[in-house]
Structure 1
Amino acid sequence: MDSWLSLIPGPRPETRDVTPTVVTEVESEEWDGARQRLISKQWHRYAADISGPVYLRDPEIYEVAAAPTPWTEDDLAWALHVSRESTTKYDGRVFHLPVIIASQLSVEQLAPFEPVLRAVLADVSERWGMPTDIRRPLAARYGEVLARLGGGLPAHLLPERDGFGVTTRRRLGGLAADPAVIAALEFADTLAKPAPTKTWLRQAEQLVAASPAVPSAVTTVLATFTEEAGPLDDFHDQLLRGLVWMAAADPGDEATALIARVAQVAGEPYGRGAYARASRTAASAVEAVADRPGDAPAAALARLAVTCRSKPLRVRVRDALDRLGAARGWAPGEALELTVETHDIDRHGDAVEIVGDKAKALSRTGEAKTLVKALNKTLGLERARLEDLLAHDRTWKWETWVERYARHPITGTVARRLLWQVSADGREWTTGLPEAAGDEWRVGGAGGAGWVVRLWHPVLADAAEVAAWRDTITTAGIRQPFKQAFREVYRLTPAEEQTRAYSNRFAGHILRYRQANALMRVRNWSASYLGTWDGGYHSEAVRELAAGTWQASFRHEIAGEVEAPSYTVEHCSTDQVRFAVRAGRRWEPVPVTDVPARVLSEAMRDVDLFVGVTSIAADDTWADRGEHPFGMYWQTAGFGALTGSAEVRRDVLARLLPRLAIGSKCELTDRFLRVRGSRATYKIHLGSGNILMEPNDAYLCIVPAGRSARVSLPFDDDERLSLILSKAFLLAADEKITDATILRQLPRPA
């Protein structure tokens, strides 16, 4: 920082006043203080100027510099000036001597240097190019020196460069000055790995037991972390992971709950990113919570397994759940359903109500509002978990299913709107919606002790059965929590039987990359970012299915030019989809022909979603770009054959149109929804939503704005269908259009 020069006390010294001397293999014990001082300054001078004539060969020179030496304030000022003038700060060498000198000066001698030492600490802490294993110890040494001047918590612990550091120091109050607390926090900051050694744990337990102020401070810091939602300085991560293990010394339920909250918050991405907010802290919390007793650890890990977007952390969570499940005799995925929070909903029935997929408050109390927020979070997790079960060919004993699904106060609100199958022998299956029969439950009129249950998937049914259930769901006005009866089905194709190792079904599409990458992460596919760096031109999005027993990978690469100065990747092209099965800790590639029907269909559905939503073919404004290298693709894909999702869209519209006010003006063709207006007849493509006008297929650009048409759908996860309906309602009454940009494109009234 330029402010260094003005903060260094005293006149500016001559920084090249050290006599050049080649360091020889002289034993350090033979050097007196003056000799040590000279050698140390030579080392510092030439560490700051690597082009200097002296090459320091002695590997013990740093120890020589650190030996007790008759340092003065002038030496410190000189060393700071040399450091500031250096152009080679990336390796941290030029920051060593000033802190060595400062640590040996008296408090009175140091006092004038406090402002510049704080500036140096800030500079060291924020030098992202400096290796962390150099930057952290250096910052700690400067923090310890500054602590001698001001007392209290050293500046490198809980630095006030973000909201968490500021808030935590304020909440600690007087605890921050307690020597036992300072010692504990300094020791916590030494944990470099997620799991500590036994020696480290013994020392931590001794520090925690040294004073009642220590566990209070540990709890305060961790609790503040779970509440502070802003970005986190990376220096906090190491301190927090040590404090997690200090908190783990308490076997109580409150400590378990706190560590579980830390795992949840640390594992969540900040903003819209994909990386964990504090990845190392999350890893430590996962390890610390996994071996603790009670239901809270499993519940926390189960939530992380569903919400975590960080691939390394997700692997760690899965391993922890596997260990926990194996110790308790659980099947793969069982931990997730055993740990669903009920929020004591039966006890709070007069305060809140769950309608469909949402909870709402029946009173205006703060408690009710807090409960509604928690309920909606759990409902969202359960919707995602049950949708993931579609890829898992899993069965439940009847009694287990009734307890965990049909009767569960939270899960039941989702499960009771889904189709399930029951069987007495595991061969003949009856399909139906769960129905209460007095104190009993039935599925399609069947079920009972000794029967088994599984979640219905249309890929396992024939076309007639699927059509019948779609009619039933539509007629009954049931809004399923996610697409099930109307779910897209992707079965093995002849082309895939020939390629065997991979599928090219969705290869060759051009996607808007940033939107596609974001959607992949929403659907729990992890992928490295595309960019112009080495290896950045290709990426592979990966998702685990069927409780982590199968893996699908979707390859994609940069498409088009990546232009300066931003070098932002605008588009990517799609490539192969491949599969692998878990073999212990490894993944074994599997031919696409050997992938279970549920797994294949669910993976392909996601890839179709990426293409359908983010393809440039679905961009209403693309036609205005003139000559473009992707223009031919836009024309072909924007009006071409329908994908699986578009075919389902057509099926839904066939059932809905007769009930809509515009139904008499609409007609479904093989690829389009044809709408008769007063000024023209329009064809809305069922895949892209793009519009052509008869008779010459002139393109009509309508950029979506405002709310979609309010039509009751049997599901709520197809924005493209809502957009198509909105356009249909608009064009069916084209005589009422007032938007000038649309009117300019329409033929004049007859």
Structure 2
Amino acid sequence: MPERQPEPFNLIIFDDASAEAVEMKPILPDLLGQALQKDYGTKLTELPAYQAVRAQNAAYQGRLALALATAMCRCAQADYRARYTLAELLGGLLRGTLALSEADYLRLFQLYGLDVDAPPATLELWPFPWGLTLAQVGRLAKKQGQLSPRMLALLALVLQATSGGQGDGAKLNIKVQEILNQVGVEELPTVTFAEGDPLGRQLNAFVADLDPAAATTAAWLRLLQLWQKASGSQPTASYRKELAATTAALGAEVVRAQGRAWLDTLGTMPVVEETQTIHYPNNYDYTYTSYTYLLDANAPIAKGLVWTLQPLADAGVLALLTTLGAKCFRKIPGKGPLAAGLGNACLLALSQNGLPGVAALARVRSKIRQTNTQELIARYIAQESAKLGVSPAEIEDMAAPDFGLENGQLTEGFGDYTATLTLADGKAEVQWQKAGKPLKSAPAALKATHTDEVKELKAAQTQAQQTYTAQRDRLDRSFVDERRIPWPWFEQYYVRHGLLSLLARPLIWRLHRPEGAFQDALYLGDTWQDAHGQPVPAPVADTQLQLWHPVLAPAAEVLAWRELLEKHQLRQPLKQAFREVYLLTPPEERTATYSNRMAAHILKQHQFNSLAKLRGWRYRLLGAYDKGYDSEIASLPLPAHDLTAEYWVSEVQADGEWNETGIYNYVSTDQIRFTRGDAPVPLPGVPPLAFSEVMRDVDLFVGVASVGNDPQWRDNGGLAQFRDYWTHYSFGDLSEVAKTRKLALERLVPRLKIGKVSEIKGNFLVVKGHRHVYKIHLGSGNILMEPNDQYLCIVPDRSSKTLGESAVFLPFEGDAVLSIILSKAQLLMDDDKITDETILRQL
């Protein structure tokens, strides 16, 4: 190949009368030429001309730096590549030691466009190496112990020009503050913050209110300065030491109290959503939405605040860190997490606070959908468990707080008033009384006289409900682990625990006896009973308890458990006795290594992604431009069995069927496989419980995310090529979840008002109204009208309380579609009273 020729550039950039330019003119063309010709992967330090320069002394390199800056000034504004390359060369020199005087640095700044005698309207940051130059000035100031009035005036101009800025401007502002403080321009450090968000405004107000004569003012300013320098994913040892020393000077309680206020601000700050439109030629407009939360300039301050409070955290700080951590991982369209760096700082702080921190991490994890963040939390919990010599599951048992609950209640006295915190059916509520008479809300008088106590009670209510939900979901995901818990541990951390006991007592447990036998039992009426209500010997020290699963028992026993729950009106916190069971089918035995049971469905991808993450699956969204990163597989690790479950999906390509970030709206489903390492595992070799739970997860994904569940999908222009699928799914065969729903409805409907005009026929609940006979599908909840099976679109109001949740006992956690079916049936039985025009037009 012919050797690449140097690109032409305007030699006038080297034509200057200054001594440095004259001296360096012979080498500058070669140096710039090599730099312009280098490949992207070639480092500056590998260029022969640059290596020759670095072999010279500091004085020579200093003169070359002045010559390069002069050339940048003479370089045409439009010649971006030459200006950038000159700046790269100048920056390389400024990273080393240069023999430049204060007058030389003043000249450099003048070449950058900053002159004390003629201050510019704005500071041109690109492409001049301001940060590296200021770092050199800082070293000079440290060496001399002072700076000239002219240099101080110039630094003041930089400070003013970058005040409230973001990105590079914010970094320059902090660097100038450090230099001014270093030479003692003022007795107190100069600290300013960007005013574009509530945190910055609060911090500036705090600084303005500090008393210059107070002994602690300098320490506060020093601490705030340290926060401005917070960088990286974790604080260094030296940074931690500086934070600790400054905190000690102020007093831990003082810093904790003020820090709580700023944490609260971060947790309650709004995310400002703005829609903007850019008008392009040819009548083309581009509209986009921006989301502003914490300015980039203030993000390090927030991180420094969290790191400072990490060793000071009490229950109040941990609660605020939990709230803030969850908020930071809120997904923003087109961006991802709201503030991942700050969120990771919160997770780190929680992980360093023992069992209370682990409990908080468990609450945060239930709200986070990002796979990498969930894995990070799992590592933190594993690290803490290793310190204590227990398993991650055991440390989560140990970490679960009980909030002082006894039998689901906590009573607190406030003078003449009494507050009772009650946790029942997963809902935490506070009831107030005065002299035995119930009140509607917390007394206004108490909010003034017992402000902190009322806030703590409110926080306990919120945290108790969050913890209950997190622990319930943990138990629900733990079936597949087949974990066995020794009775002494179970008794301490479940039976006697104020919160976990509310979860454990209504559940069925398999009691493994030391001789190898087992009994299935439920703790009912202060005794352990079997499925027929007969007493079972209580567990003893060497008994191990395993969460019972219906796949482990014969069908007759499962039905007996269901009847027992209904007889005692006992509602389980999670679906257990009524849990769907998925057994291996003959077609799956024939295919051997894969199942097509959940194939050929069309899912809304974003909804599928959210559900998968909620159940612990790993999945990356498929994009219209990047082909879905590196895989088209949703996977679930099953470490207890050394297996990985895989659900294969692929994009649905159709014109315009992706969002503004290029992510496909729909995916089609394919096989389910199990692998060990990279090798497929024959399905008969997969433990039945693991197989059933994986199939249940996938059935949930399909049952919720399928377009067949959307009553408006067809009428709103859903993909024409999949309308037959929509019709088949909406009114076809029932899934296992729908079969369980059918069993529940067979028991419920005869007891309800709709039972007089309704009955179960095949896959439908048939309702006789005054205008028509309606068939509500038990899987999708969609409706057909007899006699010609005309489709009736009714969109449920998911915000209202449905009949299925309020008036009917269910022995398992509420089923959203079941509730929708009941509410639709109630509406249609009195179809002559319907006033909604969108429904009447269809009738």
Instruction: Pick the TM interval, shorter chain.
Output: 0.7 to 0.9
Alignment correspondent of 1:6: none
Superposed displacement of residue 504, structure 1: 3.2
Match of 1:141 among 154, 175, 183: 175
1:23-53 CA-to-partner distances (Å, cap 9, x unmatched) read: 3555464459887544323246659633449
Match of 1:416 among 498, 501, 505: 505
Match of 2:802 among 703, 708, 711: 708
Superposed displacement of residue 203, structure 1: 5.3
Q: Is the 8 A contact 2:329 2:338 kept in 1?
A: no
* In structure 1, C-alpha distance between the alignment counterparts of 2:673 and 2:229, rounded to whole Å: 43
* In structure 2, C-alpha distance between the alignment counterparts of 1:542 and 1:223, rounded to whole Å: 42
Superposed displacement of residue 656, structure 1: 0.8
**Structure 2 vs 1, CA of residues 95 and 643 (structure 1 numbering), >3 Å: closer, same or farther?**
farther
SS of the equivalent of 2:781 reads coil
**Structure 2 vs 1, CA of residues 44 and 478 (structure 1 numbering), >3 Å: closer, same or farther?**
farther
Alignment correspondent of 2:272: none
Alignment correspondent of 2:277: none
Superposed displacement of residue 649, structure 1: 1.0
SS of the equivalent of 2:774 reads strand
* In structure 2, C-alpha distance between the alignment counterparts of 1:199 and 1:740, rounded to whole Å: 69
SS of the equivalent of 2:210 reads helix
Aligned letter for 1:745? Q
SS of the equivalent of 2:559 reads helix
Superposed displacement of residue 412, structure 1: 1.7
1:606 paired with 2:697, answer yes
Aligned letter for 2:481? H
Match of 2:166 among 119, 122, 126: 122
Superposed displacement of residue 98, structure 1: 8.1
- Name which of structure 1's ranges 608-617 and 713-722 shifts more when overlaid on structure 2: 713-722
Superposed displacement of residue 671, structure 1: 1.8
* In structure 1, C-alpha distance between the alignment counterparts of 2:626 and 2:362, rounded to whole Å: 36
1:573 paired with 2:573, answer no
Aligned letter for 2:166? A
Superposed displacement of residue 657, structure 1: 1.5
1:145-294 aligned within 5 A: 159-171=194-206, 174=210, 178-187=217-226, 192-195=231-234, 198=237, 201-202=240-241, 205-206=244-245, 208-209=247-248, 211-212=249-250, 216-217=254-255, 220-221=258-259, 224-225=262-263, 228-229=266-267, 230=269, 231-234=293-296, 238-239=300-301, 246-247=308-309, 254-255=312-313, 260-261=318-319, 264-265=322-323, 267-270=325-328, 272-273=330-331, 278-283=339-344, 286=347, 290=351
Alignment correspondent of 2:738: 646
1:666 paired with 2:758, answer yes
1:390-401 aligned within 5 A: 390-401=479-490
* In structure 2, C-alpha distance between the alignment counterparts of 1:631 and 1:101, rounded to whole Å: 69
Superposed displacement of residue 487, structure 1: 1.6
**Structure 2 vs 1, CA of residues 225 and 499 (structure 1 numbering), >3 Å: closer, same or farther?**
farther
1:61 paired with 2:93, answer yes
Superposed displacement of residue 466, structure 1: 2.1
Q: Is the 8 A contact 2:561 2:577 kept in 1?
A: yes
* In structure 1, C-alpha distance between the alignment counterparts of 2:314 and 2:211, rounded to whole Å: 23
* In structure 2, C-alpha distance between the alignment counterparts of 1:579 and 1:290, rounded to whole Å: 33
Runs of 5+ unmatched residues, structure 1: 1-14, 126-135
1:312 paired with 2:372, answer yes
1:357 paired with 2:419, answer no
SS of the equivalent of 2:166 reads helix
Aligned letter for 2:198? G
SS of the equivalent of 1:479 reads coil
1:294-443 aligned within 5 A: 295-346=355-406, 348-349=410-411, 351-352=419-420, 353-363=422-432, 364=442, 367=454, 368-425=457-514, 427-437=516-526
* In structure 1, C-alpha distance between the alignment counterparts of 2:383 and 2:90, rounded to whole Å: 50
* In structure 2, C-alpha distance between the alignment counterparts of 1:285 and 1:426, rounded to whole Å: 48
Aligned letter for 2:513? A
Superposed displacement of residue 650, structure 1: 0.8
Aligned letter for 1:571? Y
* In structure 2, C-alpha distance between the alignment counterparts of 1:498 and 1:426, rounded to whole Å: 38
* In structure 2, C-alpha distance between the alignment counterparts of 1:66 and 1:523, rounded to whole Å: 62
Aligned letter for 1:728? A
Q: Is the 8 A contact 1:393 1:546 kept in 2?
A: no
Q: Is the 8 A contact 1:37 1:65 kept in 2?
A: no
Q: Is the 8 A contact 1:405 1:412 kept in 2?
A: yes
SS of the equivalent of 1:560 reads coil
* In structure 2, C-alpha distance between the alignment counterparts of 1:714 and 1:28, rounded to whole Å: 84
- Name which of structure 1's ranges 254-263 and 162-171 shifts more when overlaid on structure 2: 254-263
- Which of 1 and 2 has greater Rg? 2
* In structure 1, C-alpha distance between the alignment counterparts of 2:592 and 2:297, rounded to whole Å: 49
Q: Is the 8 A contact 1:266 1:277 kept in 2?
A: no
Superposed displacement of residue 180, structure 1: 4.0
Runs of 5+ unmatched residues, structure 2: 1-11, 32-51, 139-146, 270-292, 413-418, 433-441, 448-453
1:677-688 aligned within 5 A: 677-688=769-780
Superposed displacement of residue 684, structure 1: 1.5
Superposed displacement of residue 510, structure 1: 1.2
Alignment correspondent of 1:736: 833
Superposed displacement of residue 532, structure 1: 2.7
**Structure 2 vs 1, CA of residues 60 and 734 (structure 1 numbering), >3 Å: closer, same or farther?**
closer
Match of 2:824 among 727, 731, 734: 727
Superposed displacement of residue 617, structure 1: 0.9
Superposed displacement of residue 654, structure 1: 1.0
Q: Is the 8 A contact 2:163 2:173 kept in 1?
A: no
* In structure 1, C-alpha distance between the alignment counterparts of 2:641 and 2:304, rounded to whole Å: 30
Aligned letter for 2:101? P
* In structure 2, C-alpha distance between the alignment counterparts of 1:298 and 1:145, rounded to whole Å: 42
Alignment correspondent of 2:584: 492
Q: Is the 8 A contact 1:111 1:149 kept in 2?
A: no
1:42 paired with 2:71, answer yes
Q: Is the 8 A contact 2:166 2:296 kept in 1?
A: no
% same residue: 31
Superposed displacement of residue 592, structure 1: 4.6
Alignment correspondent of 2:649: 556
**Structure 2 vs 1, CA of residues 322 and 55 (structure 1 numbering), >3 Å: closer, same or farther?**
closer
Aligned letter for 2:833? K
1:498-555 CA-to-partner distances (Å, cap 9, x unmatched) read: 4454443222211223333333344444433332332437654444567897654444
SS of the equivalent of 1:636 reads helix
TM-score of the two chains, using structure 2 as the length reference? 0.72
SS of the equivalent of 2:794 reads coil
Superposed displacement of residue 644, structure 1: 1.2
**Structure 2 vs 1, CA of residues 669 and 281 (structure 1 numbering), >3 Å: closer, same or farther?**
same
- Name which of structure 1's ranges 46-55 and 179-188 shifts more when overlaid on structure 2: 46-55
Superposed displacement of residue 215, structure 1: 8.1
Q: Is the 8 A contact 1:263 1:281 kept in 2?
A: no
